[in-house]
Chain A
């Protein structure tokens, strides 16, 4: 079996070795499967392991590559998909008891794209039930229990792509897929010390994915590096007639190779008002990141997010859409089967949001979109830490203990802005801290390039926890 020094390599390096036939996709898959069996259950990382499918796909990839038919950097690459993505014939539970036996007869669009690229599915990663629904109180809000952080198993990975974060940090796969409505890719990436990309809204088809909030849901990768995120994003991005929210062909598609990075972003705006306050240890890491960014970017200025009721608008939109998406749970009473006491009830309250207030929130959203367009006329990329805290304890009451203003999360998700979180150091508690790059809608390449430039000068993404 392959050792940690291989299994924690970036996807880009694994791909180079697979393409040159120095690394066997079958051996890589077997090694990740063995490691997943060994560490996955204790971390509550997987909803389902699919070794038969994985090995079949790995053997097929290996045969093709040996035959000279190399499809690209995901060919023979083992991954796990968040359990809200339909895979034909397999349980797709959405992390929730009411859907525990749900099986779809088709693949989600991203799974189809990954199959076409020759990627190897190890299994479905665990998640917070219904991707968090209207709200949840505990990390245990999941059919599979609380996902434990490989850096400290008394801590959480953050949600709702909780298993995807755990799998990456524990070196159980080469990449994972997550989804974000508000924070569910960037927060697990930050808490788990990995790189996570939230693409522009509409660049990745949600066909076959559970809907939480139709106008806010995005699917994106969690990987070791920003470059890895770009490689996965290039495979899953694209217009899809089956998801009418996807952007037109020319704006949805994404192609990537390091050679495409011709003109990197140059104007960085360090956000002055993204967080109410930062603990000194996290502020120090941000100050250090600023010094490193100066090596790559000629202009770093102070930027301020527009102020207004944007968190409130995001809350109303997300919750109203959630209530509609899960109306069946309300009507049937099956919401009572959810694991989290807050999630059982919050959707009932969300159903009472008046339609006129929902529309007003959508109107505020458009005002905000133009305000952000103006801000991006002055800055290419906005930067701040991904979270003002490190990973929370597993038993923390999230409603009271992990509740702080998050205007950037609200604005980024309301406006569908691309963002990436990459590791930028460790707090004194030994837990990783993430650095967040946010770009103009459509400028996914810009945030990737900025993060990649940062990672050229840092090694935080090469650190990994020691598991026993």
Chain B
């Protein structure tokens, strides 16, 4: 069994890779939307990950697992509303969401980088010295 597909759960004394973490987080997320019976089944024998629809971006196994968890989360809550065609579309849209998620996750942010909840530069600008006046700069 590939390392990435080991059963989820903390293993004392072992660190987990970012890839493993992503997969586990995805599986945990999916579990919240599964009925208890299916959850037991999933724990005993992980369900195969369905093929992505044609034209979907190529995804790593971890990303594909996250996509599938997303699909199951939606179908678990609202599945009875959708036709097969719509379910397929949800799978395609779920796969398309993976690229922006991974791109944002890959961006380096240190702990001090806080979320932008307002126009901080605009509000803080008055605390900084004003930049050189452009009109004066170009006067002959």
Count chain B residues whose beta carbon lies closer than 8 angstroms to a beta carbon of A: 40
For B74, B93, B119, the residue with the greatest tally of chain A CB atoms inside 10 Å of its CB is: B119
One of B89, B109, B119 near A369 (C-beta < 8 A)? B119
Q: Does B54 make an interface contact (CB < 8 A)?
A: no
Q: Across the interface, which residues of A come within 8 angstroms of B82, CB to CB? A: 345
Residues B74 and A352 in contact, CB atoms below 8 Å apart: yes
Measured between alpha carbons, how far is A365 from B73 in the docked complex, in Å?
28
Residues A352 and B100 in contact, CB atoms below 8 Å apart: no
Residues B122 and A251 in contact, CB atoms below 8 Å apart: yes
Query: Considering only CB atoms, which chain A residue lies closest to B86 in the complex?
Result: A345
Q: Across the interface, which residues of A come within 8 angstroms of B81, CB to CB? A: 333, 336
Q: Binding site of B, secondary structure by majority: helix, strand, loop or mixed?
A: helix
For B73, B81, B97, B109, the residue with the greatest tally of chain A CB atoms inside 10 Å of its CB is: B97
Residues B101 and A349 in contact, CB atoms below 8 Å apart: no
Measured between alpha carbons, how far is A263 from B103 in the docked complex, in Å?
41
Q: Does A315 make an interface contact (CB < 8 A)?
A: yes
Contact with A along B51-93 (1 / 0, CB 8 A): 0000000000000000000100110001001100010011001
Contact with B along A344-381 (1 / 0, CB 8 A): 11101111111001011111111101101100010010
Q: Does A243 make an interface contact (CB < 8 A)?
A: no
Contact with A along B119-140 (1 / 0, CB 8 A): 1111101000001001101100
Q: Does B104 make an interface contact (CB < 8 A)?
A: yes
Q: How far in angstroms is the closest Cβ of chain A from B131?
A: 5
Q: Across the interface, which residues of A come within 8 angstroms of B115, CB to CB? A: 359, 362-363, 365-366
Q: Across the interface, which residues of A come within 8 angstroms of B121, CB to CB? A: 369-370, 372-373, 441
Q: Does A245 make an interface contact (CB < 8 A)?
A: yes
Residues A442 and B97 in contact, CB atoms below 8 Å apart: no
Contact with B along A208-244 (1 / 0, CB 8 A): 0000000100000000000000000000000000000
Known A263-B135, A266-B135, A364-B107: A330·B78 in contact at CB below 8 Å: yes
Closest 10 CB pairs of A and B: A362-B115, A312-B100, A366-B116, A309-B103, A365-B116, A312-B103, A441-B122, A349-B93, A373-B121, A266-B134
State the B residues within 8 Å of A (CB): 25, 29, 70, 73-74, 78, 81-82, 86, 89-90, 93-94, 97, 99-101, 103-107, 109, 113-123, 125, 131, 134-135, 137-138
Given contacts A263-B135, A352-B97, 19 further A-B contacts (CB under 8 A): A201-B119, A202-B119, A267-B134, A267-B138, A299-B138, A309-B107, A312-B101, A315-B100, A345-B82, A345-B86, A346-B93, A360-B105, A360-B107, A363-B109, A364-B104, A366-B114, A367-B109, A369-B119, A377-B131
State the A residues within 8 Å of B (CB): 200-202, 215, 245, 247-248, 251, 263, 265-267, 298-299, 308-309, 311-313, 315-316, 319, 330, 333, 336, 341-342, 344-346, 348-354, 357, 359-367, 369-370, 372-373, 377, 380, 414-416, 441-442
